[in-house]
Amino acid sequence: MIPSELINFKNSKKIIALTAWDSITGSLAEVAGADIVLVGDSLGMVALGYKTTLPVTLKNMVDHTNAVCRGFSYNLDAQPLLICDLPFLSYQCGEDKAVENAGKIIKDTPAKGVKLEGAEPETLDVISRLIRMGIPVMGHVGLTPQNFLNQGLKQQGDNYLTQEKIKQDAKSLEKLGCFAIVLEHVPNLLAKDISENLKIPTIGIGAGKYCDGQIRVTADLLGLTDKQPPFCEPLIDGKNIFKDKLKKWIEDERLN
């Protein structure tokens, strides 16, 4: 599948996306049936031990994207659509630099597109250039964690003006040719309104059930993270389950 084919799912099949950061999580996401695997810059927290996504580098993204793909099956047709986040400062320092950095992801990894956050005028110029240069782009509006020093991590779109801005941003991203848009931590009815008024799919996280698809950070779903976001109920208490199993194994081994 190439990114533009995702539009065929709109109104016909709920799109499911999971994040992955290494070959094990890449393999898990594929065998579980995800349509999209995002190597998100959340790997800064879930794989590299940072407190935020800000320190993540382009090299981190390239290395982890290649690792994720090495976990996929050999059947190219069965593989999920692999998308890679552009990390902080890889697309904020001018269009040429952004093309060079996004191009590196497309040249040096099997990712078929990049995701980047926001829709400020400079970001829209960058997105337009990337798409014209042949690099598919997934947009991301609402809560944009790379901007957390301004926004915090709270829900976005809590009043008429900010809701109108998010709607306008989503429209602008569609107009430029983004193949899909992540809506993060916005009110459900705002996400519904945006989803109904776009031709491209919306992929929600903390944005309610009316989006065309859902994405979650796999470590949050599996209960592996220390700080669980309010919009992701873990499926299992992974951290404690694995800890208890390992503890038991260590205790048994000491007795042997």
Residue 82 identity (one-letter amino acid): L
Cβ atoms of residues 29 and 13 within 8 Å: no
| Per-residue x/- track, 165-184, ligand KIV (CB under 6 A) | -----------------x--
Task: Catalogue the active-site residues.
Answer: 184
Among positions 217, 219, 222, 224, the unique one binding ligand KIV when judged by CB under 6 A? 217
Alpha helices in the chain (DSSP H): 23-32, 43-46, 58-70, 95-108, 121-132, 148-151, 160-176, 188-197, 218-221, 238-255
Cβ atoms of residues 59 and 84 within 8 Å: no
| Per-residue x/- track, 42-61, ligand KIV (CB under 6 A) | x-------------------
Q: Using the rule CB under 6 A, is 40 a contact of ligand KIV?
A: yes
Phi, psi of 98 (to 5 degrees): -65, -40
The CA radius of gyration of the chain, in Å to the nearest whole number, is 18
- 68 vs 116: CA distance, rounded Å: 19
Q: For ligand KIV, which stretch binds (CB under 6 A), given 36-44, 118-126, 152-160, 189-197?
A: 36-44
Q: Using the rule CB under 6 A, is 146 a contact of ligand KIV?
A: no
Footprint of ligand KIV on 13-32 (CB under 6 A): 19
Among positions 41, 169, 174, 212, the unique one binding ligand KIV when judged by CB under 6 A? 41
In the complex, least distance from residue 123 CB atom to ligand KIV, rounded to whole angstroms = 15
Q: Which residues here bind ligand KIV, judged by CB under 6 A?
A: 19, 38, 40-42, 85, 182, 205, 215, 217
